[in-house]
Amino acid sequence: MEPFIRYFTTHLTVERGLSKNTVKSYGGDLAALEEFLTANSCRSWRDCTREHLLDFLDSQRNLGMETSTLSRHLTAARMFFRYLAGEGLIAQDPSALLDSPKLWRILPDQLTVAEVDALLKVFPMRGEALEIRNRSIVHLLYASGIRVSELTGLKVADVDFENSLLRVKGKGSKERIVPAAAQVMRLIRHYLDGARVELCEKIPLAPWLFVSRRGRKLDRERVWAIIKEAALRSGIDKNIHPHTLRHSFATHLLANGADLRIIQEMLGHADIATTEIYTHVDRGRIAAIHHKFHPRG
Distance CA 96, CA 81 (A): 9
Q: Say if CB 187 and CB 195 are below 8 A apart.
A: no
Question: Is 83 tagged catalytic?
Answer: no
Q: Which of these is catalytic: 73, 133, 241, 246?
A: 246
Q: Is 171 a catalytic residue?
A: yes
Helix boundaries (H) for 193-241: 196-199, 220-234
Give which of 141, 144, 147, 125 is closest to 193, Cα–Cα.
Answer: 125
Q: How far apart are CA 113 and CA 31, in angstroms?
A: 38
Please pick, among 135, 196, 243, 247, the residue that the annotation labels catalytic.
243
Q: Is 269 a catalytic residue?
A: yes
Angle at 157 between CA 155 and CA 161, to 5 degrees: 110
Among residues 26, 83, 142, 278, the one annotated as catalytic is 278
Active site residue 7: no
Choosing from 171, 174, 214, 290, the catalytic residue is 171
Catalytic residue among 73, 133, 139, 147: 147
Catalytic (active site) residue 278: yes
Q: Which amino acid is at 126?
A: R
Q: How far apart are CA 86 and CA 92, in angstroms?
A: 9
Q: Is 243 among the catalytic positions? A: yes
Phi/psi for 266 (5° steps) reads -65, -35
Q: Which residues are catalytic?
A: 147, 171, 243, 246, 269, 278
